[in-house]
Structure 1
Amino acid sequence: MQNIQNSTAVTSSSSVGARTGCGAALSSSSSSAAADSSGAIPEHKSSKISDGGGGVCGGSSGDSCSLHDPAAAAATKEEQPLAIHYLASFHEICIVTALLPLVTLFTCFVTAYVYQYDDVHETHCRVYNIIPSISAITGVSPQRYFWRFSIALHIGPRIPIAFVYKNYYRSQLKRISPELVPQASWLISLILVLNCIEIASLGGVTYISNRENYPVHERIFITFMICSLCYMLATIKLNGLLHAGQSLNVQQQQSIKWKKFFFVASILSTIGLLIFFAKHRFYCHDLAFSWFAFFEYLIAIANMLYHFTIIWDFPSQYMVIVQGPLENISQYLSSRPKID
């Protein structure tokens, strides 16, 4: 009768362990201690239940159970659904970002020329002038606030676009010969740095006007010009490496052709700007400042349109903000068909 009670107690203890949710069995040491010489089940103070997969459960008075099963954890991740919170056409974002400063610049020029003619044509030489500079039309109010607001909206998307370009170029390194990979990788890093400096300089030259602090404004503008030209040249050189000996589609041909055109236009406009800046600054020639402003507009427009060639580099991409485990997101994106 006593033996029957002992076996019944062991069975009952095992049933309690199974009901803890761990699917566990008593360890051998606990089983052997279940039936001692006195024929009674001793009180378990530190006995543990092992689930066989890394989980450990306490064996007394309903202790909690901790589960560390890798297979169960993976199954839990697979059950978590992916939630897309934002989906937008990257192509449309790039168009708005590139055209925003161009439209704003034209609006500032027209309104300042019509309503604030005397203010925007004032120079230190006091000579005849018909074309105001960009600093002049964006330095008067209310055009100042409109221009600064527009540049703030423009700079925001430019920063992630710079890193998108970096990843876009790196994804094409596998198509070129191995001996060209180090040079192309170096150019990709250089392009990212130059692009970021150009964006920062654009913000600096916008928010530090020539009327507030002319020496700082002038130095930031020079930095912007140098980084912009170097960025254009490095991008054209990189595209030559990535597409050497390969057939290009129509969009790639358009992108490379217009990049080269706007780079040449920027170089020629920079030469003209430097010549007439010297004539205005040191000799105060009539209309010298107007020619300087004219080439300044050409440089700004060429720079904006150069960045507008992004519409051929990313014709059908989308920007997505998705929530879920990283493994699930990677698996989902790799299994989806690519949209051409």
Structure 2
Amino acid sequence: MPASYSDLNKPVHFKLTLATLGKIVCSLPIFATFFCVIWSVIFDFKSSTETHCGVPNFLPSISAAIGGFTPQRYVWRVCIALHCGPRFMVAIAYYSYHTSIHVGLRNQLYKTLAALCTFLHICENMALIGLTYVSSSENHDLHEKFFILFMLCSLIYMLLTTYVFSWGRSANGRSISHTEMKSLRHKATLFLFNISVFMFAVYLFFRHNAYCEPGAYSWFALCEYLIVLSNVCFHSTMILDFNTYSVAMVDMEPSTAHTTYLTV
């Protein structure tokens, strides 16, 4: 289990519950998405909704909304930059969270899968940074590759995390708590919703390119919004998983040094 700063008998300079941190981190991409889309519809409607087909659309894609215009580009980049840093910490914290439970004979496999979850979480975060700072208007091919990497890592991460969470929380006849069951249900539901919407978005994308139907690309864009929202909601289950944990900065030796502890 993580160390407790209360046992160190040291002054606490900063303390923040992980539930509060999770709310802040998850609110940033949601705010940025809605701001960029709404601003684009109000002030850059024609430019943000036009495609190579030349047919009318009523919503911009996320790529167009976040990378093609200002101030949308700056709002998105600032929000993603602020939210990505803590997510690296959360990715590492989840490995400790999963492996704090011993599942028996297959514990090594369990720990390997938990490590893979952490790796996928970090890769998803890195891909998000990549597609944020390389816009589709600047380098479409690279932006597209970052998006594909983001979706692959995201979907595999959600599936694997749901499995590892279920395995660990119910291992060795352990009674799963109400909060853990709630988190597991949310994870499973959000994963199924996310992959279903993603598959429908792929269908709409190819249909748009094949038939150039009016509005088809806008329905694809709407699916993109739902993918982002469900992805953020999946990550927000950390609020349930770490509801008893806090991040604190305390004085250590020498007196000028500080150490951050993740504590229960």
Q: TM-score, normalised by structure 2?
A: 0.89
- Structure 1 residue 309: deviation in Å? 0.8
The answer to whether the 8 A contact 1:195-1:231 is kept is yes
1:201 equivalent in alignment to 2:127: yes
The answer to whether the 8 A contact 2:57-2:215 is kept is yes
CA–CA separation in structure 2 for the residues paired with 1:292 and 1:133: 8
Partner of 1:222 in structure 2?
Answer: 148
- Structure 1 residue 325: deviation in Å? 4.9
CA–CA separation in structure 1 for the residues paired with 2:214 and 2:41: 19
1:238 equivalent in alignment to 2:167: no
Partner of 2:101 in structure 1?
Answer: 172
The answer to whether the 8 A contact 1:280-1:288 is kept is yes
* Equivalent residue runs for 1:113-152 within 5 Å: 113-139=41-67, 140-152=69-81
The answer to whether the 8 A contact 2:40-2:60 is kept is no
Q: Which has the higher contact order (CA 8 A, sep 6+)?
A: 2
CA–CA separation in structure 2 for the residues paired with 1:92 and 1:236: 22
- Structure 1 residue 81: deviation in Å? 6.8
CA–CA separation in structure 1 for the residues paired with 2:34 and 2:125: 20
**Computing the radius of gyration over CA atoms, which structure comes out larger, 1 or 2?**
1
The secondary structure found in structure 2 opposite 1:191 is helix
1:86 equivalent in alignment to 2:86: no
Q: Quick one: which of 237, 249, 258 aligns to 2:177?
A: 249
Q: In structure 2, do the counterparts of structure 1 residues 282 and 256 end up closer, same or farther at CA, with 3 Å as the change threshold? A: same
The answer to whether the 8 A contact 1:112-1:137 is kept is yes
1:265 equivalent in alignment to 2:214: no
CA–CA separation in structure 2 for the residues paired with 1:87 and 1:305: 24
CA–CA separation in structure 2 for the residues paired with 1:172 and 1:191: 16
Partner of 1:188 in structure 2?
Answer: 114
Partner of 1:279 in structure 2?
Answer: 207
> 2:100 is matched by which residue type in structure 1?
S
- Structure 1 residue 285: deviation in Å? 2.3
The secondary structure found in structure 2 opposite 1:96 is helix
CA–CA separation in structure 2 for the residues paired with 1:93 and 1:221: 26
The secondary structure found in structure 2 opposite 1:316 is coil
1:285-337 deviation per Cα after TM superposition (whole angstroms, max 9, x unaligned) = 222211211111111111000001111001121101223259xxxxxx9xxxx
- Structure 1 residue 199: deviation in Å? 0.2
Residue-pair matches, total: 247
Q: TM-score, normalised by structure 1?
A: 0.69
- Structure 1 residue 129: deviation in Å? 0.8
Could you list the runs of 5+ residues in structure 2 that have no partner in the other structure?
Answer: 1-7, 255-260
1:17-59 deviation per Cα after TM superposition (whole angstroms, max 9, x unaligned) = xxxxxxxxxxxxxxxxxxxxxxxxxxxxxxxxxxxxxxxxxxx
Partner of 1:105 in structure 2?
Answer: 33
The secondary structure found in structure 2 opposite 1:138 is helix
Partner of 1:77 in structure 2?
Answer: none
Provide the identity percentage: 34
CA–CA separation in structure 2 for the residues paired with 1:307 and 1:243: 18
> 1:187 is matched by which residue type in structure 2?
L
